[in-house]
A and B are shown apart, each in its own frame.
Chain A
Amino acid sequence: MTALLEIEGLHLGMQSFDGEAHVLNGIDLTIRRGEVWGVVGETGCGKSLTGLSVSRLVPTPPARYRAGRILFEGQDVLAMPEGELRKLRGRHIGMIFQDPTTNLNPSFRIGDQLVDVALAAARHSERITRAAARDLAARMLDKVGIPNAASRLDDYPHQFSGGMRQRVLIAMALIGRPSLLIADEPTTALDVSVQAQVLALLKGMVAETGMAVMLITHNLGVVAQSCTHVAVMYAGNIVESGRVAQVIRAPRHPYTQALLAAIPTRHVARGALQGLAGSVPDLLAPPPGCRFAPRCAHARAACAVLPASVTVEEGHRVACVLAHA
């Protein structure tokens, strides 16, 4: 299978009052058609910035791309003029964000917003009429499970519940039939019961369209349930990546192991849950070499040099000196 998205050695600096923070420190990630990638990591590890970078939505300044390429279907997104980018967005790359209450424009009927996205996506291929776009919008709403879809096109966002709004946003992200969907914590702001529904919906849409997905989350449970692959991020690096079965069943990086050890299960006795000591490094002055070393139980002299990512088995890559041996 050919690669749909290839991120190679992506370095991103973010200007702040105290200097430039080195927030993405050489990201390598390849997503092929049909793969569902979970990108996990704690707050501030750079997972959202990685997702936004794919559509080049990170504002520059304050951000600055220092090195690397992002190839979407072989074309470098970082080198594209704005007009080319717009053809990509919505039509080839769909995006869903965290909070459905703030991601729909409150002053416009959802039909209006859906139709405009559909028209924008069709603008670069076969043009469609507004009426046709409206039909398409109604069909999409119906697909994402909104009852009486056609009549609800004329409703405003505040007339929908949080879960329903996320369904509308999913319909909006998919109306241009993108080949890659980037979902940035799409269920974090929802009730647990609604989370399950939205995840099931996403899964169904992926199965139906065969699109590739980059699901950004901090919930390993979501990854285990819905993804085929996973990339674990820590402080601007992908420390481990591979098939979900490989990474979750046999984690090789100490950070992945620590993350998994911190998940409560039925068999863990009260008080036996292991947290991770220390806190994420200051990205204005990150530790040299491996950024996880200060918190790592296995840290050694060799960690002072940034460990290269090595393949430990087919498709399973780990960036740790432990795996080098």
Chain B
Amino acid sequence: MIRFLLRRLLLTVPVLVGLTALVFIIGRMLPGDPVALAAGPNASAAEIADVAREFGLDRPLLTQYGSYLSGLMRGDFGVSIFTRRPVAEDLAAFLPATLELVFAAMFIAVAIGLPMGLATAVWRDRWPDAVSRVAALGAISMPRFFLGLLLQLGFAMWLGWLPLSGRFPITEDPPPWVTGFLTIDALVAGDGYAFGVACQHLLLPALAMSLSPLATIMRMMRASTLEVLQQDYVLTERALGLSRSLILFKYVSRNAVAATLTVIGLYFGWLLGGTVLVETVFDWPGIGLYATKSVVSQDFMPVIGVTLVIGTIFVFANLLVDVMQGLVNPRVRVE
């Protein structure tokens, strides 16, 4: 297991280096002149050149890439030419919000999607299955930002049950920073009220993000459950008197979940990349919103940084899925 992990970790290095090169080059080849934008509307040519020199943008691209890479080794993601703040600090401030959102969305998707997939497989071709099929198609087809707007309209504007946007009321003090996850920090601080408020803010954006993976996970789980139910060992288990619930919840579900795990891992990365729109709609202070603002102002260092972070997490999510495959399926366990 340790050797397997080490080998996989080693294999991620070329992937990540390739990613930095790609992102760095694309970031620099985008049209527009960020330096002029950063220097201000009335800046003279000399002032613009000063700004370029200050950030090292007058050097050849390869040199810039080299110094960026060596900076990365030290955890330095460069400096925003707009706010002049180190990108690493911004990322550290915004990433927990995004991760909290993604984890919450994944939790909803898995906690509802897996049991519903199992249930619809058991009720195959009866009405719950038919209803869920139509609903899943709708959920997969609907753009997340649009779904977000609908949820805001329904639950925040009309019903008034949940806050419209944001992560925590500006007028109140958030719990002291421990993990950066407001819900967990509130629990650590023993602040039940703050926990409730944080959850209320989290619910709508997490729902908006979770629906599409939920639908996919449900359909995958349904398909793999149906396949497992056809297996010879299920007949043997029935023939030897195991109860229906034991067969379904213990023996069938583990085999079916193994087939669904890969999709769950892929969706985790997909959600991270997809937070941009949802965070914008819900004004959620995560790296998605940070990336949007940076793109608009052509501030490429933060954009590169965000892409790198998402890419890295994506790679590790897939690694985690492989490890979990080993836990669920003994045959892929590596000696």
Contact = CB atoms under 8 A, between A and B. Distances in A.
Interface of A: 55, 57, 86-91, 94-95, 97, 99, 102-108, 113, 116-117, 120-121, 156, 158, 169, 172-173, 176
Contact of A156 (B232, B250, B330): B330
A89 B331 CA distance: 30
A97 B241 contact: no
Nearest to A90: B241
Interface string B243-259: 10010001100110010
Contacts of B235: 57, 97, 103
Contacts of B231: 102
B251 A176 contact: no
B163 to A, nearest CB: 43
B240 A158 contact: no
Nearest to B330: A156
A105 B255 contact: yes
Contacts, number: 78
Nearest to A121: B241
Contacts of A86: 241, 243
Nearest to A156: B330
B230 to A, nearest CB: 11
A95 B233 CA distance: 12
Contacts of A107: 251, 254-255, 258, 328-330
B239 A90 contact: yes
Contact of A103 (B232, B242, B254, B331): B232
Contacts of A172: 236, 240
B240 A95 contact: yes
B58 interface: no
Given A107-B258, A116-B246, A156-B330, A169 B236 contact: yes
A106 B258 CA distance: 12
Nearest to B255: A107
A94 B331 CA distance: 28
A89 B239 contact: yes
Nearest to A88: B241
Nearest to B331: A158
Contacts of A97: 232, 235-236, 239
A173 B239 CA distance: 9
Contact of B237 (A55, A91, A105): A105
A172 B328 CA distance: 23
A94 B254 CA distance: 25
Contact of B242 (A95, A102, A116, A156): A116
Q: How large is the interface on B (under 10, 10 to 19, 20 to 34, 35 or more residues)?
A: 20 to 34
Given A107-B328, A117-B240, 18 more contacts: A89-B238, A89-B240, A95-B240, A97-B235, A99-B232, A103-B236, A105-B237, A105-B255, A107-B255, A107-B330, A108-B250, A108-B251, A113-B237, A116-B242, A117-B241, A120-B246, A169-B236, A172-B236
Contacts of B246: 116, 120
8 contacts: A57-B235, A57-B238, A90-B239, A95-B239, A95-B240, A106-B233, A117-B242, A121-B241
Nearest to B252: A105
Contact of B241 (A89, A105, A106, A113): A89
B233 to A, nearest CB: 4
Interface in B311-328: 328
What DSSP secondary structure best describes chain B's contact surface? helix
Contacts of A89: 238-241
B243 A106 contact: no
A103 B241 contact: no
Contacts of B331: 106, 156, 158
B225 to A, nearest CB: 14
A211 to B, nearest CB: 15
A87 B235 CA distance: 16
B330 A106 contact: yes
Nearest to A91: B241
Contacts of A156: 330-331
Among B233, B243, B250, B329, residue most surrounded by chain A Cβ atoms (within 10 Å): B233
Interface in B277-335: 328-331
B237 to A, nearest CB: 7
A106 B330 CA distance: 8
Contacts of B254: 107-108
A102 B251 CA distance: 14
A116 B251 CA distance: 11
A178 B250 CA distance: 24
A73 to B, nearest CB: 16
Contacts of A158: 330-331
Given A97-B235, A103-B232, A106-B330, A90 B251 contact: no
Nearest to B240: A90
Contacts of B328: 107
Among B235, B239, B255, B331, residue most surrounded by chain A Cβ atoms (within 10 Å): B239
B242 A90 contact: yes
A121 B329 CA distance: 27
B94 to A, nearest CB: 40
B157 to A, nearest CB: 48
B34 to A, nearest CB: 54
B47 to A, nearest CB: 67
Contacts of A108: 250-251, 254
A113 B254 CA distance: 14
B233 A105 contact: yes
B253 to A, nearest CB: 10
A106 B255 contact: yes
A103 B240 contact: no
